[in-house]
Structure 1
């Protein structure tokens, strides 16, 4: 861990075994969307968390993905939007959207998800100045254009361009080659293990 001062919440995550992403992978970019108002809720949710953390297993895979990307496409980098999400923040997020149409997109804290284990990462690819490649939709976009299940159809419908699909496929390739799993509804979300595996073998980050 660097000499940079971290919050009690971040220290708690370190004490629970989480690793600081940028300390471990200095070349990676991080922009925690929930530490800003630039997210689907429009409010700051990570007011006590400014750095990204992951479980060591997920971090090992992320480091491999960054290496694969930078070897095949020098000048490009992964850009992390979200990583571990402590259960306390999951509750805060759920409270913000409860009773709104957005509630359907946020997991109830009583049903843990892989972010709560530090085993999921939301990310994109950026250039050497940190500008993200065009993936067709913003992060946390709730519409069919965010899905990966029928990107050719989305191109035919005019919702995506071939270049946007190519950018997504590059992201998927480096992440899956590093051992991550995709999900069909969100181009930016990748899991290091299955949820069943996490619930059986790992601890939820409080």
Structure 2
């Protein structure tokens, strides 16, 4: 896992954005959506239209009995800022010897700094797999379990998970990667398209989605 590129890496923020102007589209009614992180305005259930189209393609690539379950998409900037600072501050409180710079980097394993956050662009989705009745499959951890809670099992390539959970993670990747998405390897559930991290990982010259307004 030492070769993982974190989203706080300067190479990510160096990627330019050529905003496409694509709209945020409502996922509800097109894919299964979980309400655990629902907000009053329904922002969580919106994604850039191009990303949503790719998720619909990925859904069609899953074997019978498996479906995507969307947990969170678009995230307003104030929410993203709150998530990041709260987690960073938790790390600092638990590790008094840690510098603010070190805490910033470690926090980025789990929450993106606002300036490069793909969720604020509607370019990232947190999701899992479920059966036709909406029952989630074993993925090794819950969506949004952080590295401390999961003892590192939240990392996509974690070795300490069951064979069944590994198979399910591989099924998810086998549907999402051919559809053009990239995974953030510290979070098996986080996939994106069109953002700066995606651009760096795919060799694209620029991102096509910058911060969006809901």
Name 1:190's counterpart in structure 2: 191
What do you get for the CA RMSD once the two structures are aligned?
2.5
TM-score (norm 1): 0.71
Structure 1 residues without counterparts, runs of 5 or longer:
1-14, 36-45
Tell me the distance in 1 between the aligned counterparts of 2:207 and 2:138.
37
Which aligned pairs between 1:140-179 and structure 2 lie closer than 5 A?
140-143=144-147, 144-149=152-157, 151=158, 154=159, 159-179=160-180
Alignment of structure 1 residues 131-146 onto 2, 5 Å: 131-143=135-147, 144-146=152-154
Alpha-carbon shift at residue 21 of structure 1 (Å):
0.6
Q: Post-superposition shift, 1:141?
A: 1.4
Q: How far is the alpha carbon of 1:93 from its aligned partner? A: 2.7
Match of 1:33 among 31, 36, 41: 36
1:113-171 per-residue CA deviation (whole Å, 9 max, x = no partner) reads 1111111111111001101100011111122111123x4xx2xxxx3111110011001
Residue 32 of structure 1, CA deviation = 3.9
Distance between the aligned counterparts of 1:116 and 1:65, measured in 2? 22
> Is 1:204 aligned to residue 179 of structure 2?
no
Runs of 4+ in 1 over 3 A off after TM superposition: 94-98, 196-201
Q: Please, which moves more after superposition, 126-135 or 98-107?
A: 98-107
Q: Structure 1 residues 88, 16: closer, same or farther in 2, change over 3 A?
A: farther
Residue number in structure 2 paired with 1:42: none
Q: TM-score, normalised by structure 2?
A: 0.69
Q: Is the 8 A contact 2:67 2:131 kept in 1?
A: yes
From the superposition, tell whether residues 127 and 200 of structure 1 become closer, same or farther in structure 2 (CA, over 3 Å): closer
Unaligned runs of 5+ in 2: 1-20, 93-102
Deviation at 1:96, TM superposition (A): 4.2
After superposition, the C-alpha distances for 1:80-129 in whole angstroms (9 at most, x for unaligned) are 111111213213334544521297133332x2311111111111110011
Distance 2:84 2:40 in 1: 15
Structure number having the greater helix percentage:
1
Distance 1:174 1:203 in 2: 25
Q: Report how far residue 34 of structure 1 moved.
A: 2.5
**Aligned counterpart for 1:106 among listed residues 98, 105, 111:** 111
